[in-house]
Structure 1
Amino acid sequence: MREIACDVAVIGAGTAGIAAHAAARRAGARAVLVEAGPGGTTCARVGCMPSKLLIAAGKAVQGAREAGLFGLDVPEIRVDGRAVLHRLRSERDRFVALVRDGLDDLPEDARLSGRARFEDAGTLRVGEDTRLGFRAAIVATGSSPAIPEPLRDLGDRVLTTDTLFEIEDLPRSLAVVGGGPVGIEIAQAMARLGVEIDVFDAGAALAGLSHPDLVEAANAVFGAGMNLHLGTEIVEAAREGEGVRVAWTAKDGERHEGRFDRILAAAGRPPNLSGLGLDAAGLSLGEKGMPRFDPRTLLCEGGPVLITGDANGIRPILHEAARQGRIAGENAAALAAGRPLAAPEPWVNLAMVFTHPQAALVGAPYEADAAGARITGAMSFCDQGRARIEGENSGGLRIWADRGGRLLGGEMLGPGVEHLSQYLALAVQQGLSAAELRDRPFYHPTLEEGLETALAEIARAVAR
């Protein structure tokens, strides 16, 4: 048995783990990164990068279809599914290689390959032949796609984001289970590329939206390009011929069936915590084996272990994982050296969905019963100048502030929302009021003027 000792052991070489390892080393700790594979980060390998490549292909096709709006004649549009997926994998592999190159540059004594498991509060077993002693450990094991019970016996007929991007050609039809950010992004991109899409979700909303006006608008926009089955439950699925037959119960209780080439499980990604032996580390475990931990320091109850990134389930988004990784790395180094831990204020919530139109959620969530404590500013993109120029005039904004006008958050559905939402997130983080943000430059003609319209409504209400 090989025996190794370090100050900080980092389990997982994804976005959070890489950031944690680097931060711990910068803080002067001897840190070892343990990777079980396949590595390359969820974002680059199976998440944000390949999905955006698929979305870009769908956008190019849709732009050609809608060229007539601008007086352009595109006589024939043909989608080569194999070529689309070949480019996707080629670019995806390039992003992954860049991550791997960074790991390959690490000294040999700074990384280990193998599956890690806690033996006690100061020791990890890595693989079968290595024991790693530590003063502090970081769990950065990421997450994996959830496969609903009715789909678990379908074999390769059920796809996840871990397998979708490896198929050789586009299917003729695809059932997408889950209308959240990942599901609706892939569903719309596939539909634009000519795949017949049915989306199933137990809820009534898509893309994570919750404000009734935007939920209604999103359902209308996305429903125009695919078949939506909201408020439904899939009760049975079986292989049939070269495809799969699916049975579901609609919200009126009626049973329906349909046949699809493939089915995509996009119903979330729970943390990868099984098999780690967290109980052996002395940690206090809650529901489903999740350690109890301080969301600011990321330190778990019961042992010198921190948990970060998708593994802790706070906000499974890359920019949050990178920041949490840095916090965990610095705090693990401090813990190993007997120094106080940092407890930084969390970033304002910021989540985006890269559909067309885009969607975003910023800051405090929508609360239906908070009308007495909040002022809401509304704006529609349907008649907004720049949106009409670009032919992207759908959706709108709903922004809320407290009764004094201080911005709290909002939801968005529309063009350029990836930029507008960051503008609003910065203002919420800095504690600005609607009037203060409105007093910043808003260039004409831009989509940002739509944000100014909603801010003006709040400012007027406060003044009254």
Structure 2
Amino acid sequence: MKSYDLIVIGGGSGGLTVAAGAVGFGVKVALIEKEPEPGGDCLHIGCVPSKALIAAAKELHTAKKAAEAYGLELKGEANYLEAYRRVQAAKAAIQPHDSAERFRSMGVDVFQGHGQFRDKHHIEIKGGEVLYGKRIVIATGSRAAIPPIDGLQDVDFLTNESVFDIKALPESLVIIGAGPVGLELAQAFARLGSKVTVLERGSQILNKEDAELVPYAQAALEKEMSFVFKASVKKVEPMPDGRKRLWIERDGEKLQLETHAILIAAGRRPNTDRLGLLTIGIQMDGDHIAVKKTLQTSIPHIYAVGDVIKPYPFTHAAGMEGKIVVGNAVFGLKRKVSYDHVPWVIYTDPEIFHLGITEEEARKHVGDEVRIYKVTLDHVDRFITDRNTEGIVKVITDRKGRILGAHAAGNGAGDWMQQAVFMKRFGHKLPAISHVVHPYPARSEALLKTADQYWRDKLFQGGIAGRIMKAYVKWFR
């Protein structure tokens, strides 16, 4: 039996961050990964393939729009195999960075197989050996949650685990779920040529986003696909020609949909059910593992990161958690995780950027101290020159200008809103961005204009500062 200072179960973003960080400090590390190669969902069936597919679909969409605008004619159908090849090429290009070979070269012992707790310190690799770990990190990720729909198991359906392997574009596609995964893939397949219908149990999309952003996203998406809101899928059945029929209820009304393919995008389920956690007495929070702020479980030498814990199933959140665990598990520190400055982006077109709290949340928790600064993109010169002015930037502060939340809908928002993350993380107030010179014309000017708006309101819209400034100007003249 081999003994290790640290065993990491799961080779996704969080697990690889822990393994690479720990071995760099001379710690003896074992990494257990159930798939043939590490990289996790993000590389194999998540972020990387989805963004490659989105990029391919956007190129085609842009070409069609440009042809129409310039009086050109595009003929024929898009070759979906080209999009498929791009997805596979993107994964292949990134895989070496996360490969078992690379981690072995760093000094990590990599084991392929399913790891399960035999007791609080011993991990059994299914069909293989048993490893001893002084400390253990659980980073086994999540999988698609499959809703209990009558007949669903009798038809072929897609999830994020299989959709990137199809080599033919479905003529029609019904997507169950309008979360980030559902919306991103819906738009990509619609642009590639599928007739897409999205079913959503709620009354709108993006219910976690600031309400003022939602109309921009929904209006854009409704031009490319159909939505059925307040929809509950009661039954699915196969049809003789290979299509599927869905039986749906909407506000008491019964509907039927026929489609060539079904994609399930109804949320994620943490991979905690095959680890033997109850056997060793780890405290759970539903299907998730309960952790302290130090990311320790109820058994102090066992940590957990990534999708197996709450609140965020994001690759970048798992990476952040992994860095904290390196310090705590390797050096015995008690660093605490904070999600106050973790942003996320929904990679639809327009992109949706989210940082901190929404206006509704701010008014509920902060009250009258809230200040709102917003700029629509039709007032930003670069978006005007790009002829892509649909969108908005919205920054929420307290009365002193400290950023509580920053949100945007617009082309590339995930990139040009990053300066808001830096400002919030390091306590810079919104007006400080007015002192940063931005190249003209840049899309980041959208955020700059919110800071300019702050100064206009502060100096010229009343209050003591405004009265003093006006009095001084009058005297100076």
Q: TM-score, normalised by structure 1?
A: 0.91
Mapped contact 1:121–1:281 kept (Cα < 8 A): yes
Instruction: Provide the secondary structure at the position in 2 that maps to 1:185.
Output: helix
Seen in structure 2, the aligned counterparts of structure 1 residues 24 and 168 have a Cα distance that, compared at 3 Å, is same
Residues 413-432 of structure 1 mapped to structure 2, 5 A cutoff:
413-432=409-428
Please say if 1:311 is aligned against 2:308. yes
Mapped contact 1:151–1:158 kept (Cα < 8 A): no
Distance 2:59 2:106 in 1: 43
Partner of 1:51: 50
Distance 1:347 1:72 in 2: 49
Mapped contact 2:96–2:102 kept (Cα < 8 A): no
Mapped contact 2:210–2:358 kept (Cα < 8 A): no
Mapped contact 2:217–2:349 kept (Cα < 8 A): no
Seen in structure 2, the aligned counterparts of structure 1 residues 159 and 277 have a Cα distance that, compared at 3 Å, is same
Seen in structure 2, the aligned counterparts of structure 1 residues 45 and 303 have a Cα distance that, compared at 3 Å, is same
Residues 78-157 of structure 1 mapped to structure 2, 5 A cutoff:
78-100=77-99, 102-103=101-102, 105-106=104-105, 110-150=109-149, 153-154=152-153, 157=156
Partner of 1:396: 392
Partner of 2:469: none
Q: CA deviation at 1:410?
A: 2.1
1:450 to 426, 438, 446: 446
Partner of 1:26: 24
Please say if 1:350 is aligned against 2:349. no
Please say if 1:376 is aligned against 2:372. yes
Q: Deviations over 1:445-464 (max 9, x none)?
A: 22222212223333444444
Distance 2:214 2:339 in 1: 28
Question: Does 62-71 or 132-141 show the bigger shift?
Answer: 62-71
Distance 1:431 1:108 in 2: 39
Mapped contact 2:145–2:269 kept (Cα < 8 A): yes
Q: Which amino acid aligns with 1:245?
A: R
Partner of 1:363: 356
Partner of 2:296: 299
Distance 1:426 1:109 in 2: 33
Partner of 2:468: none
Distance 2:151 2:42 in 1: 25
Higher relative contact order structure (alpha carbons within 8 Å, sequence separation ≥ 6): 1
Instruction: Provide the secondary structure at the position in 2 that maps to 1:349.
Output: coil
Residues 176-191 of structure 1 mapped to structure 2, 5 A cutoff:
176-191=175-190
Mapped contact 1:184–1:355 kept (Cα < 8 A): yes
Distance 2:103 2:427 in 1: 42
Partner of 1:243: 243
Seen in structure 2, the aligned counterparts of structure 1 residues 313 and 112 have a Cα distance that, compared at 3 Å, is same
Distance 1:98 1:72 in 2: 45
* Matched residue count: 455
Q: CA deviation at 1:29?
A: 2.0
Q: Which amino acid aligns with 1:248?
A: I
Partner of 1:270: 269
Seen in structure 2, the aligned counterparts of structure 1 residues 109 and 348 have a Cα distance that, compared at 3 Å, is closer
Mapped contact 2:317–2:342 kept (Cα < 8 A): no
Mapped contact 1:121–1:303 kept (Cα < 8 A): no
Partner of 1:282: 281
Distance 2:217 2:312 in 1: 23
Instruction: Provide the secondary structure at the position in 2 that maps to 1:159.
Output: coil
Q: CA deviation at 1:130?
A: 1.6
Q: CA deviation at 1:143?
A: 0.8
Q: Which amino acid aligns with 2:246?
A: V
Distance 1:75 1:27 in 2: 57
Q: Which amino acid aligns with 2:179?
A: G
Instruction: Provide the secondary structure at the position in 1 that maps to 2:417.
Output: helix
Mind listing any 5+ residue stretches in structure 1 that lack a counterpart? none
Instruction: Provide the secondary structure at the position in 1 that maps to 2:235.
Output: strand
Partner of 2:255: 256
Instruction: Provide the secondary structure at the position in 1 that maps to 2:280.
Output: coil
Identity %: 25
Distance 1:109 1:323 in 2: 20
Mapped contact 2:28–2:108 kept (Cα < 8 A): no
Distance 1:253 1:101 in 2: 53
Partner of 2:466: none
Instruction: Provide the secondary structure at the position in 2 that maps to 1:150.
Output: coil
Instruction: Provide the secondary structure at the position in 1 that maps to 2:26.
Output: coil
Partner of 2:334: 341
Distance 2:107 2:431 in 1: 55
Distance 2:176 2:228 in 1: 10
Distance 2:101 2:340 in 1: 27
Q: CA deviation at 1:159?
A: 0.5
Distance 1:90 1:408 in 2: 40
Mind listing any 5+ residue stretches in structure 2 that lack a counterpart? 463-477
Partner of 1:14: 12
Seen in structure 2, the aligned counterparts of structure 1 residues 152 and 409 have a Cα distance that, compared at 3 Å, is farther
Distance 2:164 2:193 in 1: 16
Mapped contact 1:358–1:416 kept (Cα < 8 A): yes
Mapped contact 2:10–2:40 kept (Cα < 8 A): no
User: Which is greater in Rg?
Assistant: 2
Distance 1:152 1:234 in 2: 11
Distance 1:142 1:122 in 2: 21
Mapped contact 1:209–1:361 kept (Cα < 8 A): no
Distance 2:100 2:154 in 1: 33
Mapped contact 1:174–1:263 kept (Cα < 8 A): yes
Distance 1:91 1:165 in 2: 12
Q: Deviations over 1:105-156 (max 9, x none)?
A: 3478712222111122221222244221121100010111111111773456
Mapped contact 1:64–1:77 kept (Cα < 8 A): no
Distance 2:368 2:210 in 1: 16
Q: Which amino acid aligns with 1:14?
A: G
Mapped contact 1:198–1:226 kept (Cα < 8 A): yes
Distance 1:235 1:455 in 2: 50
Mapped contact 2:31–2:108 kept (Cα < 8 A): no
Q: Which runs of 4+ in 1 moved over 6 A?
A: none
